[in-house]
Amino acid sequence: MVYDSTDADVITVGKPQKEKSVLLTFDDGPSKILPEILDVLHAESVPALFFWQSRLFYEDRPWKRLLSEGHEIGTHSMKHLNLTNLCYNKQYKDIAQSVKSIESIINQKITYFRPPFGQYNAETITAAKELGLTTVMWKIASMDWELKENPQEIIANVVENLEDGAIILLHELKQTLYVLPELIQEIKAKGYQFTTL
């Protein structure tokens, strides 16, 4: 559940804030339930960072709403392949094409990258840096992808491991949406604010 990296080119925590804070991130979108996730975040006044696979991103996704409500979009690659299985040139091409595809729709620079499956090697980081991207991992994994039958555990996995600045890994999944309002309330009850990078 708790992850950290000693790699200076990978971030797992946000910038220090005046009050203790955490950052919500959502992988593997944009999905069909994105509007409902945005509804919850809007109701709770919580910003988030979304890492999208460019192959899933079409003009009709509610990206304008997402940006107008203070959220950010990063790339999660083009095809969600394990990049460590690819040579440098193929890694670079996949990440570069994903960035180009997303930027062509939102007309805004992409600056954040999260490697699929959280798997990367030195070549992945080099490719990201060459493309002007900051590689973002996480401090707390909610394990939401494994908890379709027991979504309440998503809340426990996050709340029991909270620490100042932590980047939290979530996914655009139905079980995550189901517990998201309660998760946010529990985090707030622990005295945490929500921030972006």
Q: Is residue 3 part of a domain?
A: no
Paired with 141 in beta bridges are: 169
| 45: helix, strand or coil | coil
Q: Is residue 197 part of a domain?
A: no
Name, in order, each residue with C-beta under 8 angstroms of 40's C-beta and a sequence gap of 6 or more: 46, 177, 180, 181, 184
Q: Is residue 196 part of a domain?
A: no
Q: Is residue 2 part of a domain?
A: no
Q: What is the CATH number of the domain that holds 122?
A: 3.20.20.370
Q: Is residue 144 part of a domain?
A: yes
Q: What is the span of the domain harbouring residue 83?
A: 10-190
Q: Is residue 195 part of a domain?
A: no
Per-residue tokens: 159: 């709340």
- For residue 94, the number of C-alpha atoms closer than 13 Å in the C-beta half-sphere is 23
Domains identified in the chain, total number: 1
Q: Is residue 185 part of a domain?
A: yes
Q: Is residue 4 part of a domain?
A: no
What distance in Å separates the CA atoms of residue 193 and residue 20, rounded to the nearest whole number?
Answer: 6
pLDDT in tens, the chain (197 residues): 777 777 888 999 988 888 999 999 999 999 999 999 999 999 999 999 999 999 888 777 889 999 999 999 999 999 899 999 999 999 999 999 999 999 999 999 999 999 999 999 999 999 999 999 999 999 999 999 999 999 999 999 999 999 999 999 999 999 999 999 999 999 999 999 999 98
